[in-house]
Structures are given as C-alpha cells and as structure tokens.
Amino acid sequence: MIKALGYFIEIIRGGLITTRHFVVNLFYHILKVLGIKTKRKGSVTIQYPEQKKEIASRHRSLHRLMTRPDGKPRCVACMLCVTVCPSECIYVEAAEDPDPEIQKYPAKFIIDLGRCCFCGFCVEACPEDAIRMDTGNVEFAQYSQQDLIYDLDKLIG
C-alpha cells in the first residue's frame, strides 16, 4: 500500500517536472516573441527524418578516403590509422605502385563501422590527409553487420 503510494508520488513529481519545462519554455518563447534577447533559448522539437538539423563543421561522421587528382587513393598505406585505432576496426594491406613517386598504395582498406567508435584518431594520425570524417553522413545504419564493413570502393565513392 505504502509502496503504491510511493509510485503515485513519483508520477506527480514527473508531472510537475514536465509542467516546469513547459512553463519555462513558454516563458522564453514569449520573451522571443516580444523581441527580448536572452542567453537561454526555449527548446524546439525537430521533426527528424523530414526535418534535419545542420551538422556542426567539426562533427565526425562517416569516413571517406581522399583521392589524388588522377583518382588514385591519396592513402599510402602507412598504417598509422591501424596503429592508433582504439577499437581495432581498420585493416590495411599495402601494395607496390609502379610510380616511384608514389611507391605504396592500399590494396585493401577496410573499416568495420560496426566496431568504429568515431573517435577521429585515424583522421588525426593520417600524415597524408587521406582519411576524413566530414561527409556529414550519419545515416548508414544497416540490417546486417556484414553491410557495415566498408572497403576501399565504398570509402572512396
């Protein structure tokens, strides 16, 4: 009985919190309508799939591999990203490029996004600015883990 009463009290508390938020937001929105500038803004609901919020410029989104002017990957397979990656989700295999100025290119470059923690260390470690996380794409959820393993073609394209 007393336990049930406890639940009841919590429901009332929750209702009060909601009311407080409602009143506070209403207050700031009224101030905005009246043209009074305040530091705090009233909160707004974004209708997500239809309506999208702009992503901050330093936001870390899906990776991409940069290319040279001729379309070859800029990556030289130095494996610093592999070394620094805390979730061990990058795998690179190097191969010999016939051009002596390039010499080394990635034959395989695999990122397992199902394991990636989006820390951005790979971007920071890259000496060639070959990997970036600035695509702005945050919608790459998949139904199977296998589809989250991105290879060279997917990362360049």
Q: Which residues bind other proteins (CB under 8 A)?
A: 76-80, 82-83, 88-89, 91, 94-96, 100-101, 103-104, 110, 112, 115, 127-128
Least separation in angstroms between residue 37's CB and other proteins is 46
b/e map 27-46, b = 16+ CB within 10 Å: eeeeeeeeeeeeeeebeeee
Q: Which is nearer to other proteins, 87 or 137 (CB)?
A: 87
80 or 133: whose CB is closer to other proteins?
Answer: 80
Report the distance separating Cα 75 and Cα 57, nearest Å: 23
**Taking the complex as a whole, how short is the minimal distance between the CB of residue 101 and other proteins, in angstroms?**
7
Distance of closest approach, residue 79 Cβ to other proteins, in angstroms: 5
Question: What is residue 106's three-state secondary structure?
Answer: strand
Q: Select from 156, 152, 4 the least CA-distant residue to 67.
A: 156
Nearer to other proteins, 75 or 133 (CB): 75
C-alpha 143/C-alpha 145 separation (Å) is 7
The residue among 31 and 94 lying less far from other proteins, judged by its C-beta, is 94
| Pairing label, strands 90-96, 64-65 | unpaired
**How far apart are CB 121 and other proteins at their closest, in Å?**
16
